[in-house]
Each structure stands twice: as structure tokens, then as C-alpha cells.
A and B are shown apart, each in its own frame.
Chain A
């Protein structure tokens, strides 16, 4: 999803910055408030950020014969919501833009929007909806992580299509870019979904307090029994 340095025309670069900056500022405010009120949540935020660090550094091979990144934003979306996730994604994207020449400073706004805001937002909507109808941990976490990843790349395709319409037709470009990103991304989104299901299953047993009020854990009795046996 990294749009390379200098590859967005100035007006589009500014446009995506204008959309992203308020969300990131809101995220900073949320983090400060969270740390002030619940300092014990620092570890949880660090953990969510750590997953974004690890997963977005991995270039995984996909069935299309090309490689791409997971985004790792699913856990953060469930644990802390979209705004805080956008801050964590921004840290990673700045690291990659300055030290790895992946993405860039001029395209930072667009990349924050796709990876830190749009992807997590789509994931968050699915998470909220599935949690509401009590779908349980496994499907909810899987779909959230899967969609946060896939939506990020669909938005990247959209951003490139808007900036580079084919003979004035953005739709044609979108299909082209969608073809490059989406199919490559599907298996990686599945990988990410499976990984986060396992991690949240672990969290539900080891630190259910971190998931309190955030995820409905159906298998309550089995869980307590499991904790007792393992504990």
C-alpha cells in the first residue's frame, strides 16, 4: 500500500494530508487521555503498535507471484479504535519513509489514510456489527483483521486511480490497480486474520481484562475452566 515518494501529484498529496491530519491529531488526544486515565493501558497500546511494526515489515509471497505486506492494524482497531490506530500506523509509516525509502514524506498523508484510517475504519465497522450480533471471538477477529488489511489496499488502488485516470476515466484505472493489489492481498489478509484470531484467543485467556467491553467472548465457562487448568 505504500505509494512511493513523489508519485502523487501535489494536489492529491495535499488532499490526503488534509483528510489524515485531523484523525491523527484526534488519535494523539485519545492516547494522551487514555494514558492519563488508565496508565495500565500503555502496554496494550504498545502491543497493538508492535503488531503493526512486525507485520508491516514482512513482505510475504502471494499466489500471484508478487509480494506484499500485511498491515497488522486489526488488533489495534479492536483494542483501541481507529484514531489511536492511525497514530500507530503513522509512526510505522514515518519509519519506513525515512529509513527504508518505502512510501514517502509527500505521500505520507495518502498512506496514513489507507493503512491507518480507511482500512481500520472498515474493519472497525465489521467488528462493531459482528460484536453487536454476538458473533463470538473467532469470526469477529478474523473478519476485522481480514477487512482492515484488504480495505487498505482497495483504498490505495482508489487513491492511485483518482490521481491517474486512464484517458480521463478513473474507473478503468481503479480496475487496473485493484487487479495488482487485491488478489495478491487476499491470501495475506487470511494469514493476518488467522494470526490475530490466535492472539486474541490467547488474550481472552491470559488477559481478559484487556478485552473487557470490547469483545464478546462466548465460551465463558470453557474459558474459565481453561484458565484454571493452565493457571
Chain B
């Protein structure tokens, strides 16, 4: 199988696992496991009082915003890396550098300089 086909299988598997969760648990709330852990502490030791509060708790919508921001920061870096590599390869190809293009490691090292 070609790499493209393998990548399709890989991404398909990731999506299938996430979708399967909804099919196996229709109507579940999908609350956070972290929160369930917290509840369980209450069951084990009902007297426990948290001795420190979060310095700042964002409102629900702001929380979504900040989670998206966190993902965006990471995604920008990954996208930059992949785009940069792609650009380097295309550029080398354009200037017709057969040696650099054929040898994997050499290509990358040359591009680093």
C-alpha cells in the first residue's frame, strides 16, 4: 500500500475511535474524567475541603477560547514546520539540485545551512 493509503487508514482510525465513543454511548454526557476523579474523592472522604482555590476560573466561553488558543499555538508551530520542510524540498527541486534531492539526509543537512 502506498503511504497515502496508510495515512488515510491512520486518520480514518483516529476518527473512527472518536465516533465509536458516541455510537457505543448514545446520550452520554462525556463529562471530564478529571471531574469524575474529583467526585470520587468526595465519596471516599466527604469531609475533605480543598485548601486552595484556583487563582482565576475563566467563564465557560472563555475557557473554550483559551483551550482553542492552546491548540492553535501548537498547531501553528507544527504547520510552520511541515510547511517549511515542504518549501525547502520544492525550492531544491526547482533549482534542480539532483544530488540534494535524491539523498534524504544530505538534503536536510544542506537545507539547514
Contacts and interface: CB of A to CB of B under 8 A. Distances in A.
Interface of A: 1-7, 9-10, 40, 43, 46-47, 49-68, 92, 95-102, 104-106, 153, 156, 160, 164-166, 173, 176-177, 180-181, 184-185, 187, 190-191, 194-195, 197-198, 201-202, 205-210, 212, 223-224, 226-228, 230-231
A165 B45 CA distance: 9
27 contacts: A1-B34, A4-B34, A4-B38, A6-B52, A7-B38, A7-B41, A9-B51, A50-B74, A51-B78, A54-B75, A57-B71, A62-B30, A65-B25, A92-B70, A98-B55, A101-B63, A106-B51, A164-B44, A177-B37, A181-B33, A191-B17, A205-B104, A206-B82, A210-B108, A223-B104, A224-B102, A227-B102
A194 B24 contact: no
Contacts of B50: 4-7
Interface in B18-66: 18, 20-22, 24-25, 28-34, 36-38, 40-41, 44-45, 48, 50-58, 63, 66
B56 to A, nearest CB: 7
A57 B78 CA distance: 15
Given A101-B54, A180-B33, A208-B108, A164 B101 contact: no
Interface of B: 3, 6-7, 10-11, 13-14, 17-18, 20-22, 24-25, 28-34, 36-38, 40-41, 44-45, 48, 50-58, 63, 66-68, 70-71, 73-78, 81-82, 85, 89, 92-93, 101-105, 107-109, 112
Contact of A231 (B38, B40, B101, B112): B101
B10 A100 contact: no
Contacts of B54: 5, 97, 101, 104
B41 A195 contact: no
A113 to B, nearest CB: 16
B112 A100 contact: no
Contact of B105 (A102, A198, A208): A208
Contacts of B3: 201, 226
A231 B17 contact: no
Nearest to B27: A65
Contact of A194 (B10, B22, B48, B58): B10
B32 A68 contact: yes
Contact of A54 (B6, B14, B33, B74): B74
Contacts of A52: 74
A224 B107 CA distance: 11
Contacts of A54: 70-71, 74-75, 78
Given A3-B37, A180-B33, A227-B107, A61 B21 contact: yes
Given A191-B14, A231-B92, 17 more contacts: A3-B37, A51-B78, A53-B70, A57-B68, A57-B74, A58-B71, A61-B22, A100-B58, A101-B58, A102-B34, A164-B44, A180-B40, A187-B17, A191-B18, A194-B10, A209-B112, A230-B89
A130 B56 CA distance: 44
A69 to B, nearest CB: 8
Contacts of B57: 101
B33 to A, nearest CB: 4
